Amino acid sequence: MRVVLARPPDPMGMVDLLSHTLPTNIGYVAAVLLAEGHDVEIWDYESEPFTVAGFLDRIESVAPDVIGWSCMTPTIENGAKMAALVKARFPRITTVVGGPHSSALPRRTLLEYPSFDVVVNKEGEESMAELCRKLPGPIAGTAGITHREGGGVTVEAERPLRRNLDDYPFPARQLYQDGMRRVGHSSRGFPNRIRSTEIFTSRGCPYQCTFCAIVATFGRSLRLRSIENVRSEIEECQAEYGVEHLIIADDTFGLKKGRVEELSELFERLGLRSWSCDTRVDCVDPEKLRAMVRSGCTKVAFGVESGSERVIKLNRKKIDLERVHAAVRWAREAGIRHVEGNFIIGSHPDERWEDIQETLALYAKSRVSFDAVTPSWLRLLLIESV
């Protein structure tokens, strides 16, 4: 099969403001399809300029059998519009959508967007591979998909998550790492002249924060790759792509006891120029942070979300504000250059104006980095409230 995997353009055009990640998630899907002998391309319209004529001409030239889009909620509309263009001119092409939005709402996605033929639910590697093995024949019975059938929509049986992540090939970076025009920045604080890439040392999160959509993709599981497997991927990134900065894209980096220290020792042995991660404030302590700095960690982003204890409890975040201040202080004392805090306005439907004011006050007091990238409306609120 000839397969194209795509990311739709950002509808807000904000990749110059927000960190722009590489398409590592579909890089994993591409790697599995390549291993099965399919011809695969990645088209990343978060990086590349999109025009209707250029997109259709590209399809004409490549003649794919399948096009799959990876969509979050903000990009599902653009993905559906692109699929509609495909169906209008190339009706034989099977259109597939995956990602958090359609995984959370598979049946609704197909009912709402008639241009998609199939939803690949949750973790997509194995389901997409089986789908491509079966096409253009019948696909009924393929675990992990939702599809159109007999004028209706059929949700097939859920596919179990693969327990051993080491079984997956490394993302097919040859399809995207060097060939795409990088827009914005890989991570706030790091210019694009530093060669970087994202890497997942684990998948999933066992916490139950009410605002987080990870449950739509991975459930409440946490699966860890072996240290040896991570080492092999980093060595490949260094040798093949000259990677200097590593962005750890884990959802819960450092949750398992001793894991941060093991990975920090690995990064130090491999001579990484720098690396960064996102984590929880209750996953770090002064000793862990010093080990991270010794191995090249120059940025850590903490998920704070709210400065209101009431909202934190409503969100089931399971942190307290004292630990927020302690984690930021420990990170600065350890010598981490960039200490970032992630805040959400509207994380719970019962949030009040007083809760927002508490969040803004915490934001102002916590001394996190990158306040310059705060949206203008939030800057105005901040100025008015402190």
Q: What is the 8-class DSSP label of residue 221? A: -
Predicted local confidence at residue 46, as pLDDT: 86
- Superfamily of domain 2-155 in CATH is Cobalamin-binding domain (3.40.50.280)
Cα torsion 183, 185, 191, 194: sign? negative
**Chain position carrying tokens 């179990």:** 160
Q: Are 81 and 11 in contact (CB under 8 A)?
A: no
- Tell me the per-residue pLDDT of 294-347, one tens digit each, with 9 for 90 and over: 999 999 999 999 999 999 999 999 999 999 999 999 999 999 999 998 899 999
Taking each helix axis from N to C end, the angle separating 353-365 and 376-385, rounded to the nearest 10 degrees, works out to 90
Predicted local confidence at residue 195, as pLDDT: 87
Comma-separated ranges of CATH 3.20.20.70 domains in the chain: 195-385
- Report the half-sphere exposure of 299 (CA within 13 A, side-chain side): 22
Q: Single out the residue of 8, 140, 150 nearest to residue 68, CA to CA.
A: 8
User: Cα(140)–Cα(311) distance, rounded to whole angstroms?
Assistant: 44
Q: CATH number for the 195-385 domain, one of 3.40.50.300, 1.20.1560.10, 3.20.20.70, 3.30.470.20? A: 3.20.20.70
Point out which residues pair with 19 in neighbouring strands: 185
User: Cα(256)–Cα(260) distance, rounded to whole angstroms?
Assistant: 8
Amino acid at position 228, single letter? E
Q: Single out the residue of 265, 268, 262, 264 nearest to residue 277, CA to CA.
A: 264
User: Cα(351)–Cα(314) distance, rounded to whole angstroms?
Assistant: 9
Predicted local confidence at residue 10, as pLDDT: 83
Q: Single out the residue of 225, 125, 223, 236 nearest to residue 166, CA to CA.
A: 225
User: Cα(279)–Cα(290) distance, rounded to whole angstroms?
Assistant: 15
In tens digits, the chain (386 residues) has pLDDT values of 999 999 999 887 654 455 578 899 999 999 999 999 999 999 999 888 899 999 999 999 999 999 999 999 989 999 999 999 999 999 999 999 999 999 999 999 999 999 999 999 999 999 999 999 999 999 999 999 999 999 999 999 999 999 999 999 999 999 998 754 555 566 766 767 788 999 999 999 999 999 888 888 888 889 999 999 999 999 999 999 999 999 999 988 988 999 999 999 999 999 999 999 999 999 999 999 999 999 999 999 999 999 999 999 999 999 999 999 999 999 999 999 999 988 999 999 999 999 999 999 998 888 777 543 344 444 444 434 33
Q: Are strands 222-224 and 202-204 parallel, antiparallel or unpaired?
A: antiparallel
Q: Are 120 and 145 in contact (CB under 8 A)?
A: yes
Comma-separated ranges of CATH 3.40.50.280 domains in the chain: 2-155
How many Cβ atoms from other residues are within 10 Å of residue 161's Cβ?
Answer: 17
User: Cα(13)–Cα(293) distance, rounded to whole angstroms?
Assistant: 34
